[in-house]
């Protein structure tokens, strides 16, 4: 078992308390077809929910979705949530955990989804899970029962003395940026999701020296501009997860 070091969390409330939940949405509605995944278990996914010791809550385990490769490559919404509608009276909120590999003949498949069987059944009552249904959906703030405990930082397998691969998880909105700060004033920005690292990890590379602790990982949330600071006091290890004590 890897030591998680000493994690200190500083939550800076830079935004007004009256920020609306709607700010977690992009304001864009996507349309497409949705069908069910083949089982209720997590399939192979790029968010790493099978690869780490995350205490994933049952609500999100039963209601998740895979988005189209086109949408994933544009936004890489690992751990974000979407409200999915089928018709006027059926809707379900799901967590987006990966891209699916489905191909289609349509010109625009960006809004297509593959839903967990539980989420699929909440939208319609057909017993045939292979049927496609027309849906519309938009990104929203994750429900409270989808986020358990504090923000997680998972280090990828490519983490070493000169590079950190970081995946933030268990948060309600969207991560706007990640920065590593050293006591001597040096700062290193993480690349965008998927840049210079496989999957949806964000890579932080250091040109001189090493990632020798202590240093601080700062995450900023989009829309609210709140930030979380996690102090790292021991060398990060691949597959290590640091968890803050406060939700984000």
Q: What is the mean pLDDT of the segment spanning 161-187?
A: 83
Fold of 9-17+147-243: Immunoglobulin-like (2.60.40)
Closest CA to 90 of 125, 60, 59: 125
Could you give the CA distance from residue 130 to residue 28 in angstroms, rounded to a whole number? Answer: 27
Q: What is the mean pLDDT of the segment spanning 103-126?
A: 80
Residue that wins the pLDDT comparison between 34 and 124 = 34
pLDDT in the model for residue 14: 23
The residue whose two tokens read 């929203």 is 140
pLDDT tens, residue by residue, 6-58: 233 222 222 222 233 334 455 688 999 998 886 555 555 666 555 433 444 56
59 falls in which pLDDT band (50, 70, 90)?
A: low
Could you give the CA distance from residue 183 to residue 197 in angstroms, rounded to a whole number? Answer: 26
Residue 245 falls in which region: left (phi positive, over 0), alpha (psi -120 to 50) or beta: alpha
Neighbouring residues of 209: CB distance < 8 A, sequence distance ≥ 6: none
Residue 196 falls in which region: left (phi positive, over 0), alpha (psi -120 to 50) or beta: left
Token pair in block for residue 218: 């700062």
Strands 187-189 and 227-232: what pairing? unpaired
Could you give the CA distance from residue 89 to residue 132 in angstroms, rounded to a whole number? Answer: 18
pLDDT in the model for residue 49: 59
Domain 9-17+147-243 shares a fold with domain 26-140:
no
Give me the phi and psi of 144, to 5 degrees please.
Answer: -60, -35
Neighbouring residues of 35: CB distance < 8 A, sequence distance ≥ 6: 114, 115, 120, 129, 130, 131, 132, 133
Q: What is the DSSP letter of 172?
A: S
Task: Give the CA-trace dihedral at 35, 84, 228, 182, to 10 degrees.
Answer: 40
Fold of 26-140: Barwin-like endoglucanases (2.40.40)
148 falls in which pLDDT band (50, 70, 90)?
A: confident
Neighbouring residues of 87: CB distance < 8 A, sequence distance ≥ 6: none
Map out the domains of the chain as residue ranges.
9-17+147-243, 26-140
The residue whose two tokens read 């979705």 is 65
Could you give the CA distance from residue 110 to residue 108 in angstroms, rounded to a whole number? Answer: 6
């Amino acid at each position: 078992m890897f030591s998680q070091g000493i994690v200190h969390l500083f939550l800076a409330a830079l935004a007004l308390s009256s920020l609306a939940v709607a700010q977690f949405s992009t304001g864009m509605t996507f349309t497409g077809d949705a069908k069910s995944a083949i089982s209720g278990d997590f399939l192979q996914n790029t968010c790493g929910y099978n690869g780490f010791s995350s205490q994933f809550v049952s609500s999100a385990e039963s209601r998740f979705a895979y988005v189209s490769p086109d949408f994933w490559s544009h936004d890489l919404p690992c751990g974000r949530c979407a409200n999915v509608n089928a018709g006027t009276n059926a809707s379900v909120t799901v967590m987006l955990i990966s891209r699916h590999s489905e191909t289609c003949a349509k010109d625009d498949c960006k809004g297509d989804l593959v839903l967990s069987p539980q989420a699929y059944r909440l939208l319609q009552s057909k017993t045939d899970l292979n049927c496609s249904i027309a849906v519309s959906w938009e990104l929203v703030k994750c429900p409270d029962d989808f986020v358990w405990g504090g923000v997680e930082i998972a280090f990828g397998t490519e983490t070493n003395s000169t590079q950190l691969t970081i995946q933030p998880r268990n948060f309600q909105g969207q991560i706007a940026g990640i920065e590593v700060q050293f006591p001597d004033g040096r700062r290193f920005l993480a690349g965008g999701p998927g840049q210079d690292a496989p999957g949806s990890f964000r890579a932080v590379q250091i040109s001189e020296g090493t990632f020798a602790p202590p240093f601080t990982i700062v995450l900023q949330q989009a829309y609210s501009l709140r930030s979380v600071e996690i102090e790292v006091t021991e060398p990060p290890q691949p597959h290590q997860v640091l968890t803050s004590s406060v939700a984000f």
